[in-house]
Amino acid sequence: MGFLPVSKEDMAARGIGQLDFVYVIGDAYVDHPSFGHAIISRVLEAHGYRVGIISQPDWRDKRSVMALGRPRLAFLVSAGNMDSMVNHYYVSGRRRREDAYTPGGRTGRRPDRASVVYGNLIRQAYSDVPVILGGIEASLRRMAHYDYWSDSFRRSVLLDSQADLISYGMGEKAIVEIAEALDSGIAVKDITFVAGTVYKTNTAADVYDGELLPSYEEMKKNPARYARSFRIQYENTDPFNGRTLIEPYAENLYVVQNPPAKPLTTLEMDDIYELPYMRTYHPSYEREGGVPAVEEIRFSLVSSRGCFGGCSFCALTFHQGRIVQARSHESLLREAAAMTKEPDFKGYIHDVGGPTANFRHPACEKQMTQGVCRDRQCLFPKPCPNLRADHTDYLSLLRKLRALPGVKKVFIRSGLRFDYLLADADDTFFRELAAYHVSGQLKVAPEHICDNVLALMGKPKRQVYERFVKKYDAINKQLGKKQFLVPYLMSSHPGSSLKEAVELAEYLRDLGYMPEQVQDFYPTPSTVSTVMYYTGIDPRTGRKVYVCRNPHEKAMQRALIQYRDPRNYELVREALMQAGREDLIGFGGKCLIRPAKTSGGRNRAGHRKNNRTERQR
């Protein structure tokens, strides 16, 4: 089948005079179903449309988006597999040195706010061709939102990009319906009926059963109004019971969000993931060293999508939704069998999962007909009585994959929800996880240990994690294995002050563990936690929340988690003194650090250290 056209020469070789769609993307062109542009373009191709790819165009020159000519139906635009600002910057604001989605890992190949820049670039080149945004950046910025990098409240990306439509979420169903509407001659301004899309209009009178949100101008003046708006949006992310939302702007302008597209069936998922992908990057990138991101997914299997975990700092609820959709065993086994025949396959399947690896079916029976609960979570604050905590299907799939000829080991590297694991009364999966699917270390995400912070994170209480640790250790002991847990921890999440950061440091001290990496909370668009960060309000309850915004305090909280690192000494000392915890500075077994040295070998407490103490330090 080959790659899709990327040049006029490719079009000529295929006998294509004009493409139906030109897809402008911020990533390198990788024809693999782990990349959104590959899925959308192959789905359109499967429905008879001709699609070409313009990858990482020069955003300073409009001719770069004219390379494939004028499309018959529309331009499609995606910033890439990541929000372009997250792709470019650490939470500290420092620029990243590598871009895994660019040939050779080089930076500087895409602009900041790529969806906006590409949309305006296309408007300069073709003022009358429809422009449709998709991908995670547009999906999570589809309504007015707080932008961490500019520390400002921004309009819907639909308006700033001058695009006509946003296809939000995963987008397969919406893009086909949009394509068919355009192909039938319907003007893009009249495509207001597609589930999973956002459009703009000058009148809200024609919007059926819509719910009016606070206006952009109101929210910009009063962040508390944004917290209220976000709660309404959060309660309407379900395709079965979500309402149409209307966000007013000045001068009779409205941004309208239709309810999400219906979840895919297993057959639809299979069909999409078995389209004729080349499963690698375009060969033109070979001379630059290829595309680093491919190595992470090359021998991995996407088993499911959607997540009912409900973590406050995660945007999956707004992008993939809370209803889990899964591929069939047969489809996954066919893909795995094909993998084993690749020359570079060494016998190891690196992952079998999705947003959460051990979610393989909807949380309860009613979700596929009535939708998810608006005002309740499936796992938080404790598992719902209606939750189906059952790993039988996942366990069966993993056993089949392990039995394939040529497969030595099947790893699970996607996140696991340990509270869901504990909710399953049958320990069989837990035992086989430890026996066959861990490579010495299992990564889990307790995120914190203070219950007040965990509640704001939407995570289970500390005692749940401790129960999981105890059970994991017991199972490994029974198996005669020495395997460890690597906990992911987050500093500076809303609700975490220096007091909670010190408690976390004490927990790590008692555990005898210091993490090599710490994730400082990163306020990305369309998460509950980001709304807390911006407004100081938990949008779910309306209660005020402590927010750490000071960069120096952020550094202290992060340093406390790695208090043993000598480079963090001064920050840890300052943090302990500010928190009134000087009791943790000293020589006792419970102390985090020792007193600072003074001239003459005396510490600041006035005690001379002997040689033995110095050597220990």
Report pLDDT digits (tens) over 142-177: 999 999 999 999 999 999 999 999 999 999 999 999
CA dihedral 471, 472, 474, 478 (to 10 degrees): 130
pLDDT (0 to 100) of residue 361:
96
Residues of the chain short of pLDDT 50, as ranges, are 601-602, 604-617
Measured in whole angstroms, the distance separating CA 197 from the mean position of its chain's CA atoms is 20
pTM: 0.94
114 Cβ contact list (under 8 Å, min separation 6): 26, 59, 79, 80, 84, 137
10 Å CB burial of residue 81 (0-12, 13-18, 19+) is buried
What tens digit of pLDDT does each residue of 575-600 get? 999 999 999 999 999 999 999 875 55
Helix, strand, coil percent values for the chain (each to nearest 5): 40, 15, 50
89 Cβ contact list (under 8 Å, min separation 6): 95, 96, 149
Q: Hey, what CATH class is 8-199 in?
A: alpha beta
145 Cβ contact list (under 8 Å, min separation 6): 153, 154, 156, 525, 526
Give dist(CA 146, CA 159) in Å, integer. Answer: 15
pLDDT (0 to 100) of residue 205:
87
Angle of CA points 315, 318, 322, to nearest 5°: 95
